[in-house]
Amino acid sequence: MAMMPGASSPPADDGGAGSVGHAYLLPCMLALFFTWGFATVLVDIVTPKLKSLFELSYTEATLTQFCFFFAYAVISLPAGALVGRIGYMRGLVVGLLVMACGCLTFAPAARMGLFPVFLLALFVMASGIAILQVAANPLVTKLGPAAQAPSRLTLAQTFNSLGTTVGPAVGAWAILSHVSEIKDPGAMAPAALAAARQAEGAVLQWPFLIIAAGLGVLAVFFWSVRAWVTEDARNGTRTETHGLGLDLLKRPKLALGALALFLYVGAEVAIGTLMVSYLEQPRVLGASAEEAGHFLSLYWGGALLGRIVGSVVLRYVRAGFVLGCCALASGALATISGLSSGMLAAVALIVVGLSNAVMFPTIFAMAIDGLGKRTAQGAGIVCVAIVGGAVVPVVTGYLADTVGLSLALAAPVVCYLCIAGYAFANLREARANERRVLEAQAV
């Protein structure tokens, strides 16, 4: 790769991203993380309106998250093989274009006024994000020293959290404040009901059409700067070998890391999806949908604040210890919320966003650590685990329909306790490895 003036040779473990990537590519990646965070969180805003628009139960409403996150199970392994073949930068471009297609599908979904078409739009959109996850997360870990990979990825996820913090506020204004409830749909003629749904659904399409335009611009940009990362097979910097890499599951660190990520994403998404409905309950705040949407911004804003702090803390404190403490805190807060009422119940659940902050980047960096040229394959396997965002919310929604929203928080609590177990086990292993190294040096 041609170096810019003053650039040094790339380090051996950077996957072809040298100091050019350090100086210029990382800020671009931060902007990318912001954009897809903004788009992703709008699903939480769309869900309660689709629930009202199509008279859905909580279980049916969580199908939005099921279709969104099920895409990770379908797409992530092929995405890992794709990124291994075409490289990280081209992988980013493909992911952006697929995601834009999903956003564009909201237009026909709104015109038809059909719930399944909205689900299709979410699936396509999530397929693009799955490709972005596989390409972007490992690329960020390679843009500097390996020891600081969790901190660097946490910084990138901070900008993702910034997007998820701004997104609900914009969505509450652009969607929730402009969509009215259809009164007594059971008494309306089928044609009139379809027309009303089309009219109300039209409001949902515009934010996603604007996002699609922004994604197109980003795709053009990353294509134009793809030379910033050398991934040409002729000079040996192809990211890795081809294939799905399922044999990597024999590595306990990767397999257990994928399970932990499954549980984390499921718990986080379940709480975010049901937050608006939870805060609307008379026993909690009795808030309106628009007010609850703004409170949802605080939930994701907590993740933003936590990741800013976490990116610094992880430079000095063992990742396993930080992850374990945060998982226990999230479980405790969700328990307090479910067993209380009023402002305490609301605040406790919102603050879960703060303790969630470092979990995704820390688990991800732990899981793919040491994979070398097979990093994209490992990232594809780990990203499959994001399907937890499809499974756990549906389980939580079913519990909400049967025993109520408060007791349904037991599902995320169990997830957090399992994550804490994984974190402290990883911490013990890291300490044992260090002792073995010190003993070997002493001999």
256 within some domain: yes
Whole-model pTM over 0.75:
no
280 within some domain: yes
Token output for 166? 């701004």
Residues 125, 211: Cα–Cα separation, whole Å? 11
Distance (Å) of CA 258 to CA 252, 310, 344: 10, 21, 33
Per-residue pLDDT at 423: 92
422 within some domain: yes
Q: Mapped to the 3 state alphabet, what secondary structure does 76-90 carry?
A: HHHHHHHHHHHCHHH
237 within some domain: no
173 within some domain: yes
235 within some domain: no
Query: pLDDT averaged over consecutive 10-residue blocks of the chain (443 residues)?
Result: 32 43 75 85 75 77 81 86 87 95 88 84 91 87 72 81 77 61 58 65 76 91 82 41 69 89 92 85 83 79 82 85 94 94 91 90 84 78 85 89 91 96 86 75 68
Per-residue pLDDT at 13: 42
Q: How many separate domains does the chain show? A: 1
Q: Provide the residue range defining the domain that includes 207.
A: 19-229+245-442
Using only the alpha carbons of the chain, give its radius of gyration. Answer: 22
N residues, the chain: 443
Per-residue pLDDT at 172: 67
Question: Please, are residues 119 and 64 in contact by the beta-carbon 8 Å criterion?
Answer: yes
Residues 196, 173: Cα–Cα separation, whole Å? 21
236 within some domain: no
Q: What are φ and ψ of residue 18, in 5° steps?
A: -90, -155
- Contacting residues for 28 by C-beta, under 8 A, at least 6 apart: 221, 222, 225
Task: Give the CATH number for residue 288.
Answer: 1.20.1250.20
13 within some domain: no
Question: Please, are residues 398 and 272 in contact by the beta-carbon 8 Å criterion?
Answer: no
* Among 404, 420, 378, CA closest to 137: 378
